[in-house]
Structure 1
Amino acid sequence: MTPTPDIAAREARLGLLAALGTFALWGVMPAYWHALSEVPPLQVVMHRAIWCAVLVSAWLTWKQGRGWLAAVLSRPRLAAMLGVSGCLIAFNWSLYVWAVSTGHVVEASLGYFINPLLNVVIGVLFLRERLSRAQWVAVLLAMVGVLWLTFSYGSFPWIAVSLAASFAFYGLIRKFAAVEPVTGLGVENLIVFLPAVAALWWFETHGDGGFFSLRWGVATDAMLVFGGALTAIPLIGFAFAVRRVSLTVVGLLQYMSPTIQLLIGVFVLGETFGGERAAGFGFIWAGLVVFALDGYLAARRRIVAQQA
């Protein structure tokens, strides 16, 4: 049954609110992880995976019953793909939390500015997609920005590139993994659940932990548990939004997250953002403007063609 205009409009509004909330939450996460700086980054990531697995598994069991995991594991190829994607997202989380805890929020935000353009490059290399002239210009501008940052600072921005690459390849695998987003997230976290529990237990029994002994305090322990929710909730919200809002709108809104992260890094956490770094970011932002404008115009042309 086709939804009425009023219902469709309400669903679109809810989708837009979900998208705004999702990207805003992703944007403020550096402040949250920075508040956990007394906890070793690796342990933060392990807690993040454990509590996300618990929350998402409970959600899926409530919504779909107890057979959701067996349905995925009965397809070995799909389970293997989610195993690889789980390793990639765990690496991405680990590097991101480490970057935040060591004062590299600005460079981490750069990774998520680069990510959409890297997705385009991966599409060319692995999916045989063709770029428009505007997309080539956008990619070249981003490359100039990365090279500028490399030579002006004397070091390759490996944190940004590693974050962008790991998330881009994660997205590539998930593109071919025929599974709902939240179900895939649940399986990915369950794959690393037992290793994470074993590692945390080792840390606790060898004097390097602090969760069970309340060494870090009740508030910190509660934040570690809630970090799992902060991992799952935005992904659930994103899955809700993309079904109700056009991908063009979602694509434009996604730049909220790294923008907020950049502002937090500079104005809240006090990281430097001088003229040379601003110039490198400027090339990348120019590429993103070209990329976003090209996507918007292409979407408008498709709408006009459909209405003709």
Structure 2
Amino acid sequence: MVTYNVETGPGPDRKKRTRAGFLYGFGAYGIWGLLPLYFILLLPATAYEIVSARVLFSLIFCLILLALTRSLGAMKQLFRDGKAAIALMIAGLLIAGNWLLYTVATTTERTLEASLGYFINPIVAVLLGVIVLREKLRPLQWAAIVVGCLAVLVMSVFYGSVPWLSLGLAFSFGFYGLVKSTIGSRYPALVTLTGETAAIAPLALVGMIFLNSQGQVTLFSEGAGHFWLLASSGIITAVPLLLFGSAAARLPLSTVGMIQYVAPIGQFILAIAVLGESMPLERWIGFGIVWCAVLLMILDAVRAPRARRLQRKRNTA
């Protein structure tokens, strides 16, 4: 996950930044929580067409924004940075895979599985920190990982198979955050998003050409409304990411981490209340165990800053 510096101005200025940060954060995760409805509107487009269109139109939209903000020079600097360019190519492939899994889930009445994936994602991110970055975990984080693994085991027994789609979403986004963390905050969010989409745009274009040869492209065949809905995928992709970047610049990372649960909660409510997906007892049990792990993560996020402050006071006493 990218780390951002939080400006701490005095008094009213800091309060204004905090309020704005919450608005941006809830805006970003609120949009992500409502995405299943948008993808359903794109039918009869297949998941492959939707993801290809999302990549291509995102690139167009981002390039327009870069031109309007006179930031195209930052793209040249980015591609001169070999390590950053390679990292963004890998990040692009990971996020494209994540988008494909998510689109498949939401267009095949499996939004609950997508929701589960994003509930698990923070636990996966912590686990990757241990395995890849050799980070030391606090007791509550260890407990959350153990409970999360227990949840996957229980669901595998109940469902008769491992919840691969949910795990695929969680791990693809987890590795995406890990790769992006190697770039840090050297480049603005809009520049890195443009770099990611530019790196995978050739694959998306080839995908569109292949789908068209199979008669599976609906971009121009379903009317103007369908065309503009697909074209809007660029805006739908970029806007919440930019809102997220603005929130992360104004709020502590732990606060942003707690706001992220707005998205899977929204997806969960949509799946049951609007899309009518079934929620049998065994699924409630599986989700319940995952929510216990989530509560442990939230409790750790609340307690950790306080513990650090107390430690600093002891050190200065």
Structure 2 length normalisation: TM-score?
Answer: 0.92
Measured after TM superposition, the shift of residue 291 of structure 1 is: 1.3
Separation (CA, whole Å) in 2 of partners of 1:137 and 1:126: 19
1:14 equivalent to 2:28? Answer: no
Separation (CA, whole Å) in 2 of partners of 1:224 and 1:2: 40
Mapping 1:158-307, distance limit 5 Å: 158-178=164-184, 179-204=187-212, 206-212=214-220, 215-305=221-311
Matching residue of 1:142: 148
Separation (CA, whole Å) in 1 of partners of 2:8 and 2:207: 51
| CA deviation vs aligned residue, 1:87-110 (integer Å, no higher than 9, x gap) | 000011011101111111001110
Measured after TM superposition, the shift of residue 35 of structure 1 is: 1.6
| CA deviation vs aligned residue, 1:272-300 (integer Å, no higher than 9, x gap) | 11110110111110011011101101112
- TM-aligned CA distance change 1:261 to 1:2, over 3 Å: closer
Structure 1 length normalisation: TM-score?
Answer: 0.94
2:44–2:218 CA contact under 8 A, matched in 1: no
Separation (CA, whole Å) in 2 of partners of 1:53 and 1:197: 12
1:103 equivalent to 2:109? Answer: yes
Separation (CA, whole Å) in 1 of partners of 2:155 and 2:13: 48
Measured after TM superposition, the shift of residue 304 of structure 1 is: 4.6
Measured after TM superposition, the shift of residue 21 of structure 1 is: 0.8
Secondary structure of the 2:69 match is helix
1:19–1:238 CA contact under 8 A, matched in 2: yes
Separation (CA, whole Å) in 1 of partners of 2:139 and 2:206: 51
Measured after TM superposition, the shift of residue 198 of structure 1 is: 3.5
1:74 equivalent to 2:76? Answer: no
Separation (CA, whole Å) in 1 of partners of 2:21 and 2:197: 26
Deviates most, 64-73 or 111-120: 64-73
1:132 equivalent to 2:138? Answer: yes
Counterpart residue identity of residue 199, structure 1 = G
Counterpart residue identity of residue 28, structure 1 = L
1:33–1:101 CA contact under 8 A, matched in 2: yes
Separation (CA, whole Å) in 1 of partners of 2:121 and 2:61: 28
Secondary structure of the 1:67 match is helix
Separation (CA, whole Å) in 2 of partners of 1:245 and 1:108: 27
Deviates most, 199-208 or 290-299: 199-208
Counterpart residue identity of residue 121, structure 2 = N
Structure 2 portions without partners, runs of 5+: 1-6
Counterpart residue identity of residue 267, structure 2 = Q
Aligned mate of 1:123, from 129, 138, 151: 129
- TM-aligned CA distance change 1:206 to 1:154, over 3 Å: closer
Separation (CA, whole Å) in 2 of partners of 1:139 and 1:65: 41
Matching residue of 1:92: 98
2:124–2:171 CA contact under 8 A, matched in 1: yes
Measured after TM superposition, the shift of residue 207 of structure 1 is: 2.6
How many pairs does the alignment contain?
A: 306
Separation (CA, whole Å) in 2 of partners of 1:230 and 1:260: 16
Secondary structure of the 2:42 match is coil
Backbone CA RMSD of aligned residues? 1.7
Measured after TM superposition, the shift of residue 30 of structure 1 is: 0.8
Measured after TM superposition, the shift of residue 305 of structure 1 is: 4.9
Matching residue of 2:3: none
Structure 1 portions without partners, runs of 5+: none
Separation (CA, whole Å) in 2 of partners of 1:199 and 1:26: 25
1:54 equivalent to 2:60? Answer: yes
2:8–2:14 CA contact under 8 A, matched in 1: no
